[in-house]
């Protein structure tokens, strides 16, 4: 064999070896991240048993998007089926065959909802708990009252599987895969909030919106969103880039009907207005009042 050929084969073999070692390192590191244990102090949640709490719990579960991922019957849905990246089903929350409700306690449900952590202490994949971590004990209890009262659904889903691209993403952008990594698990939670129309109530409700619209609500690229996600809208009272020229009626129309003041339709896939339309008039007006107190920022956040 001529020397140049031998050098080429040696180089190719060396490169293949390096790639195999790199792949093994990514696999081991991503497996450690997936199997890490996150300690969450148990929170005492007492579920109410009155019909009003059950009804409001169903409304909140819809409003906060629980049924968007887990299905109208909470029996779960296939969320991502991209083997190179991720294969993941939102689990069956009911007490039917294949459902976590057969074994989950209220404390387990609370840990999953507010902390993105399973009953075994492992981080859940693509569970947006950072949006729900601020919820009061009263809101969580009402949501869980509904979740634990839905009829059992017999539906089993396979375990989540990270593909090569997903494993790399879990190391480079961990919170995008494991929302639990972006949460302060030592944070205390308020028992209840005053549900009267106010700026304070609007600030509480809008906390869930900050996950997409940014903490200062000037919008832009959605953190941890799919690469093709459109930018979140600027919700500050900026006259040109934000909603400074909107009226309360404009805001209500956008949330209730998914329509901007100019008549254009808001994409329900990127902005879940059909679920947010379950808000009460008091909730919508409170959020509007809060948004009007924000600094008017342009789309660059200035």
Whether 177 shows a pLDDT value over 50: the answer reads yes
- Residue-wise pLDDT for 280-296, tens only, equals 999 999 999 999 999 99
Among 13-17, 63-67, 187-191, 202-206, the least confident range: 13-17
pLDDT at 9: 46
Whether 3 shows a pLDDT value over 60: the answer reads no
What average pLDDT does this structure show over 86-101? 95
d(CA 194, CA 146): 21
- Smallest CA-to-CA distance from 115 within 61, 223, 187 is with 187
| pTM for the full predicted model | 0.88
Residues 151, 142, 60, 229, CA torsion sign: negative
CATH 3.30.1360, applies to 51-182: no
Under a CB-based contact definition with an 8 Å cutoff, are residues 205 and 136 in contact?
no
Whether 4 shows a pLDDT value over 80: the answer reads no
Percentage of the chain beyond pLDDT 90 is: 70
Q: Whose structure tokens read 């050098």? A: 7
* Residues near 101 by beta carbon (within 8 Å), at least 6 away in sequence: 92, 93, 94, 95, 147, 148, 152
Question: Domain-by-domain residue ranges, the chain?
Answer: 51-182, 199-291
- Give whole-number Cα distances, 299 to 100, 224, 242, in Å: 42, 19, 8
- Smallest CA-to-CA distance from 97 within 149, 156, 146 is with 156
- Residue-wise pLDDT for 62-88, tens only, equals 999 999 999 999 999 999 999 998 999
Whether 10 shows a pLDDT value over 70: the answer reads no
The neighbour count for residue 17, using CB atoms within 10 Å, is 10
Under a CB-based contact definition with an 8 Å cutoff, are residues 254 and 270 in contact?
no
What average pLDDT does this structure show over 13-24? 61
Collapsing DSSP states into helix, strand and coil, what is residue 81?
A: strand
- Residue-wise pLDDT for 236-264, tens only, equals 999 999 999 999 999 999 999 999 999 99
Whether 14 shows a pLDDT value over 60: the answer reads no
């Amino acid at each position: 064999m001529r020397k140049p050929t031998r050098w080429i084969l040696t180089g190719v073999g060396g490169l293949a070896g390096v790639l195999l070692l790199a792949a093994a390192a990514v696999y081991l590191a991503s497996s450690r991240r997936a199997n890490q244990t996150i300690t969450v102090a148990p929170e005492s949640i007492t579920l109410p048993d009155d019909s009003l709490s059950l009804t409001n719990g169903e409304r909140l579960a819809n409003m906060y998007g629980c049924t968007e991922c887990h299905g109208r019957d909470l029996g779960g849905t296939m969320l991502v089926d991209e083997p190179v990246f991720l294969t993941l089903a939102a689990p069956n929350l009911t007490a039917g065959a294949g459902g976590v409700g057969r074994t989950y306690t209220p404390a387990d449900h609370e840990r999953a909802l507010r902390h993105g952590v399973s009953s075994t202490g492992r981080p859940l994949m693509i569970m947006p708990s950072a949006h729900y971590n601020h919820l009061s004990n009263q809101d969580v209890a009402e949501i869980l009252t509904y979740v634990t009262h839905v009829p059992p659904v017999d539906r089993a889903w396979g375990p989540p599987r990270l593909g090569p691209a997903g494993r790399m993403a879990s190391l480079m952008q961990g919170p995008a895969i494991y929302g639990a990594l972006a949460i302060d698990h030592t944070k205390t939670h308020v028992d209840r909030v005053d549900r009267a129309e106010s700026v304070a109530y609007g600030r509480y409700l809008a906390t869930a919106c900050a996950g997409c619209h940014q903490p200062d609500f000037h919008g832009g690229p959605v953190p941890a969103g799919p690469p093709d996600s459109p930018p979140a809208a600027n919700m500050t009272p900026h006259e040109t880039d934000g909603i400074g020229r909107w009226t309360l009626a404009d805001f209500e129309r956008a949330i209730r009907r998914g329509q901007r003041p100019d008549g254009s339709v808001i994409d329900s896939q990127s902005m879940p207005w059909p679920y947010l339309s379950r808000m009460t008039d008091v909730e919508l007006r409170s959020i509007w009042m809060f948004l009007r107190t924000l600094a008017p920022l342009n789309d660059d956040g200035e």
